Amino acid sequence: MSERLGSLLVPCCILLVSVYASLYVGMLPPLWFGILPLLPLILAGVAILLAWHFNKGRVLILVLLLLIPKLYGGSDQQASLTAYLVVSCFCISLLGFIPERGFFNHFAVNRILFIFMLVGWCYAIERGWISFSFLDYRFFSSSFTWSTVLLWSVLLLSAGTTGVAWWFSGDAFKASGLVSIVSLLVISYFVSSDTQFDALLSAQFLLWIWFLLMESHRMAYLDDLTKLPGRRSLNEQLVGLSKQYAIAMVDVDHFKKFNDTYGHDMGDKVLKNVASQLKLFAHPGRAFRYGGEEFTVVFRSKHLDEAESSLETIRESIEKAFVTVFDPKKKQEVDINVTVSIGVAFAVSGESTDAVLKRADDALYQSKKKGRNRLTRAPQPKNS
């Protein structure tokens, strides 16, 4: 829950701050008035460079999409609604459901062409080049036309599907996309001047710059397979520990034999399952992927008394959790379970983190030696 809401926190803050700032944009000094019309273009350029650097083709498409009103400059409200707002919200929602395919390849080009085809289609309707006059009739007995109802249906469908998808996935892209859709509605219906428009549009690009920076952090610190913090994140955690802490090493038993029997893709499935159990039961500790089939759990000073019970819960939950894998010999799927061996070491005053990690690893070896699927506490160092 906290991770899900956290993915929406900063985008919402950017939206709220930009709306508040746009109300007072008229109080800016004259110099800033000259820069403000260029600010969306500058931030869009920064976002495109970052998207290129991190190979994020979906963000490239979004930035080009958000630039359309700035480059098009249409002032008619209805034209903005049909040729920009509806297409933009629909495409933002659509991009949340398609996989990332990189920057400047045939996938990105095809998607850009599709979006500009939609924009061109709407523009042609607004200019009267294409006519759907039957949509101008009233929607049953209401004061709305079929055209208005269809447009708002697309808007609500786009916002609704993006919101539901974000709620179930907690995905940062969908969270940013949902806030972008809300921002576009604000821009279309509550902006009364060009300066307000530039301020809110700049916030849109700032939102996606933030997303790209968070993605770079995720790629650097989060393990792609297990979605646990990786070795780099662990090293930074160890640097900031207080004098009292505990480190546990968790290793999947007979993992090499499992890979040889079922294949590496099934081995990856097992690692994901072990990581999911660690996420659920490592609290109040924090789990990391150390490398290969090894994981690390770090407990800070105020939670040391809960460390061993938490590790036992982890061991038992992994043992009871079955994973469906494909058995190449039986040519069918089978349910199997794996076990883990755990070694934990409690730091003493003056001991380095490398020494504590080494003692935890030695305790893990003792768990393996004693028959696996057990927790072993490392003895205190002799010089303590």
Between the alpha carbon of residue 377 and those of residues 2, 300, 315, 374, the distances in Å are 32, 16, 14, 10
128 conformational bin, left if phi > 0, alpha if psi -120 to 50, beta if neither: left
Exposed, middle or buried, 316 (CB in 10 Å: 0-12/13-18/19+)? middle
Pair of tokens at residue 289: 């992927």
For residue 350, what are the CA distances in angstroms to 332, 359, 378, 379, 384? 54, 15, 17, 16, 9
CB distance 323 to 337 below 8 Å = yes
Residue of 3, 293, 312, 319 with catalytic role: 293
The 3-state DSSP class for residue 165 equals: helix
Three-state secondary structure call for residue 345: strand
Active site residue 312: no
Retrieve residue 33's tokens. 């008035």
DSSP annotation of 325: E
Tokens representing residue 176 in the block:
């940013």
The maximal CA–CA distance of the chain, rounded, in angstroms, is 89
Residue 284 phi/psi, 5° resolution?
-85, 10
CB neighbourhood size of 243 (10 A): 10
CA triple 77-82-85, angle to 5 deg: 80
Spatial separation of the C-alpha atoms in residues 89 and 151, rounded to whole Å: 11
Structure tokens given for 371: 């028959």
**If DSSP codes are grouped into helix, strand and coil, which group holds residue 56?**
coil
In three-state secondary structure terms, 331 is coil
Q: Are strands 340-346 and 375-377 parallel, antiparallel or unpaired?
A: parallel
**Could you check whether the bond before residue 379 is cis, i.e. omega within 30 degrees of 0?**
no
Q: Which residue is associated with the tokens 């940062």?
A: 172
End-to-end CA distance of the chain, in Å?
42
Radius of gyration of the chain (CA): 27
For the annotated catalytic residues, the residue numbers are 293
